[in-house]
Amino acid sequence: MKPALLLCTALLPLHAVANTSSHSVEYQMDFSAMDSDRSDITHELNDVGSFHNTLSYRYAVTDWLSVGVGYLWGDSEDFALWPVDLFTDSKLEYQGIQYSVRLQLPLSQRNRFYLQANGLDFDYDVLDDGETVGSDDGFDFGLSAGWRYEWDIGLGLKVGYDYQKLGDHIDIKGISIALSYRF
């Protein structure tokens, strides 16, 4: 009896470590409004809404700090934010590798407020009547803030407001919804 009790006591800390895994994957959808200037690259772009996805991996450095890397892709054709988008023949297609640092403030055991800084290595094309009329690539920054909830089984839900720049000519801002799994 004594060796069994000793073994259980020795293994008890392993349960606590198993429930605080540092790795997670996340799928995020953004429904956004788009601002573009009338430069040579974007002068044919008439759409005002966009939709993009992000699939990412995160590593929790501490309970309140995590870093991540992911792939972002989207366009202005799949989500018509305003009725005017339905009648335009131009669209924006964009993609990139996103690097992020997220700070989390615990509100309760499962609720968290988060603030995230993003770096995006992006590439986009402006298409009009099926032809590329402008393109750009580079590296730019963005921010995200919102609320996050995580269940004990590792599933998480995140809702936030995102702002992302695509170079000097395009700003994307909108609402994001994400699902994550911690393992």
The domain in which residue 93 lies consists of 28-182
23 within a domain of the structure (yes/no)? no
Both tokens of 83, joined, read: 């009725």
State the Cα–Cα distance between residues 72 and 55, nearest whole angstrom: 7
22 within a domain of the structure (yes/no)? no
Cβ atoms 43, 128 nearer than 8 A: no
Write down the pLDDT at residue 42: 82
Count of residues in the chain: 183
Q: Which of 60, 52, 33 is nearest to 93 (CA)?
A: 52
Residue type, 52: H
Could you read off the pLDDT tens digit of each residue along the chain, which spans 183 residues? 555 555 445 544 444 444 579 999 999 999 999 988 878 888 778 778 899 999 999 999 999 999 999 999 999 876 655 565 566 778 899 999 999 999 999 999 999 999 999 999 999 999 988 899 999 999 999 999 999 999 999 999 999 999 999 999 999 999 999 999 999
- In three-state secondary structure terms, 55 is strand
pTM: 0.83
Q: Is the four-CA dihedral 167, 173, 179, 183 of positive or negative sign?
A: positive
Cβ atoms 113, 147 nearer than 8 A: yes
State the Cα–Cα distance between residues 57 and 135, nearest whole angstrom: 28
Q: Is the four-CA dihedral 91, 179, 67, 143 of positive or negative sign?
A: positive
State the Cα–Cα distance between residues 176 and 53, nearest whole angstrom: 9
Based on the structure, what is the number of domains in the chain? 1
Write down the pLDDT at residue 4: 52
Write down the pLDDT at residue 90: 84
Write down the pLDDT at residue 149: 98
121 within a domain of the structure (yes/no)? yes
CATH of the domain at 53: 2.40.160.20
